[in-house]
Amino acid sequence: MIRGKDGSRAASSARGAQDARTGGPGERQSTPPAGTWLFKGGDGRLTAYACTPGGLLRWTEAAAPLTGWTGPDAFEVPGWLGAASMARTREGYVHFAGLRAAEDGSGLPEVIVSTQFQPGRPMIDWYGLGAPALRGGPEGDRLTGPPRITVNQRSGSTHVLVSLRHSGILRRSRNAEGAWGAWKQVTAQPYPGEVVPLMPTGGVLEVLAVGPSGPDRWSGVGQGRFGLADRIPTPVVPGTPVAYETGPRRATYFWRYPGDGSLVAWRAARQGVQGGLVGLGGAGGRGAPGVARAVLGGYDCTVLAQTGADGDIEVTAYVTENEGYGIWWASIGGRGAYAPQVDVDAAGRVVVAAFDESGTPLCARQDTSVQGLAFGPWEFLV
């Protein structure tokens, strides 16, 4: 059972919590990266990231026996263009992909990558992958969005993907030994919408790409080639698609339906696995959902968080890959917060994080002293 703000302990609004701590609106301005921005490190500590006009900010859970968070630590990047995405390995490493102004004066942005190996430790130097271009393709082909990054959880290889206006989707991969290959084409079909990659454990690299008629799922077919695995004829609210591993070699995709703003889940049908498009409720909500898996009541559950129609953060939880049995949303406060994320801390508690209206991150933790999925008060990561 999910306990809402009336049944949980001291759930408070984002603005109210900030006023109580600082006496007024926050001064820090930052924005969430593309995709996931809350990660658990190899030592169990959580780390949150934000983008600024000059680079990245990082907040890290304090090491035991201390509580709270440290930071923000600022990572300035010369020529930074403000966009970044991140992905975590099974060891807790966090890989980054961003954009900076090219040094050759071409005016085309250069993709750059970096890695953080331990919570609270410095990132390695940014490495330039150049301006994405297809050999023999049109000159000056432009990106349609920020680069996205994903990792092979078994080998540790890294994949960076970009979408170009004319040359389609390109990827550049680094093998387990650290050597980068060239930019290669996933598909020649241009996609003006989001490109969301994921490589489920033991599976192949998948890419959900949103086109004018809906999302397409491209899947690796061997020898670096990709094939169109599924064409899903449904509209998508821009900026809302999310991918998450929900089973061996399986990904579930989430996005928002423009008719009423509700969330939907889609998964490729396989033997013994419920597939297809399933409605998740949450009508009137905004933005992409946060998603994670957690053990609740002894069951492997998927936990979703969204900014609801009333402006609060809402959560729901259900047995993983059993969306069809019904979804119930409950508010946990945090009015005005957006871009929610979900993860599990070292103590096994579900943590929901979000940004408030001024761009300051805050979080609420599961209150395990209460039956069901209830949350304590919102706290800022400062």
pLDDT digits 0-9 by tens, 149-192:
999 999 989 999 999 999 999 999 999 889 999 999 999 999 99
Coil, helix or strand at residue 191: coil
- pTM score over 0.85: yes
| CA 123 to the chain's CA centroid | 19
SS3 of 131-148: the string is CCCCCCCCCCCCECCCCE
Of residues 272 and 131, more confidence is placed in: 131
Do the beta carbons of residue 265 and residue 244 sit within 8 Å?
A: no
pLDDT (mean) for 11-32: 47
pLDDT (mean) for 55-68: 93
| CA 294 to the chain's CA centroid | 16
Of the listed ranges 87-101, 133-147, 222-236, 280-294, the least confidently predicted one is 133-147
Query: Does residue 11 register a pLDDT over 90?
Result: no
Instruction: Return the pLDDT at 136.
Output: 84
Of residues 22 and 271, more confidence is placed in: 271
pLDDT (mean) for 228-234: 95
pLDDT digits 0-9 by tens, 191-213:
998 999 999 999 999 999 999 99
Instruction: Return the pLDDT at 106.
Output: 74
Most confident of 22-36, 83-97, 99-113: 83-97
User: How confident is residue 29, by pLDDT bands cut at 50, 70 and 90?
Assistant: confident
Coil, helix or strand at residue 340: strand
Domains of the chain by residue range: 1-29+237-382
Query: Does residue 20 register a pLDDT over 70?
Result: no
Q: 211 vs 57, 197, 215, CA distance in Å?
A: 32, 15, 6
pLDDT (mean) for 305-310: 98
User: How confident is residue 65, by pLDDT bands cut at 50, 70 and 90?
Assistant: confident
ω into 65 cis (within 30 of 0): yes
Residues in the chain: 382
User: How confident is residue 103, by pLDDT bands cut at 50, 70 and 90?
Assistant: confident
User: How confident is residue 17, by pLDDT bands cut at 50, 70 and 90?
Assistant: very low
- State the Cα–Cα distance between residues 185 and 169, nearest whole angstrom: 6
Of residues 105 and 49, more confidence is placed in: 49
DSSP 15: H
